[in-house]
Structure 1
Amino acid sequence: MGAQQTRWSAETRCSVAVFREESLLLVRCQEGGEQVWKLPGGHVHASEGLIACGRRELKEETGLTADRLHCAYVMDVEEHQSGRFMVEIVLMPATPVQGEPRECEPGRVPIFVPVSELDGLALKPAETGYLHGMYDLHRRDYTRIPAKGVAGVGRLSR
């Protein structure tokens, strides 16, 4: 008698972490009757690359455009209520993103939130620790971009 095999399938989601000064761009929305906060992002479409997905989702959810993105970290997420598994690929701009955030999708409001306030938010997935670490790198390794007209970071040459 053979052992029953369990098939695992995971969804792939790309999100983009955009810092401006001491704040991080998050999207406020409702899920299951509760207010949650997320990085701008979403699921990868068929025949779409990860970077293309990040660019598309950033534009669709916030109106911002990004020329260059790079991978900041990857998370394995299990949603206990639904039993779903997800691979969250978090991207970060390698050059300044263009535009000002605006509500592009009804009920999904992009807001720059001070990094110091992340611990008090219902962040989904729960990645506050990673984001604090990214912010520390942002402060140390990336230039500060003026808040007017440009959101994001640019790489310092060394």
Structure 2
Amino acid sequence: MLKHKHLDHQFVRHMPDKLSPGILYISMEYATASHLCCCGCGEEVVTPFAPAQWKMTFDGDAVSLHPSVGNWLLKCRSHYVLREGRVVDAGSWSDAEIAAGILRDGRARAEMFDPPARMVAHAPAPANASTQKRSAWARFTAWLSGR
């Protein structure tokens, strides 16, 4: 049972030392959000923004997070979705579903940072690839912007 049915959002540069219940703190600078678990257990939940983790959308009024927030490692094991500020219960998962989800998420993160050779081998080469050498930072920022 979820205690909080709505999360207000607050854009911050750094996360506060003490989080308040019912508030989703968002740091665009550090590409992450944090809040106290919506079940009311008081545990801090961190959702980093990345292609293989969470995506945050802000429509000028409310915030959504995708995919769902599954607090599998917390005692409460709560599972919910944040959709336009509303907290929607996403139901319990079995131990097998949790294990499969953790494995899938780990694979997605690993592929994000170290794509399989089959994906890299078939990727088209940039126009002047033979003369163009980019720094790791340039490659990372290009990856973030989807270029």
Q: TM-score, normalised by structure 1?
A: 0.29
Q: Which has the higher strand share?
A: 1
Q: TM-score, normalised by structure 2?
A: 0.30
Greater relative CO (CA pairs within 8 A, separation 6+): 1
Query: Whose Rg is larger?
Result: 2
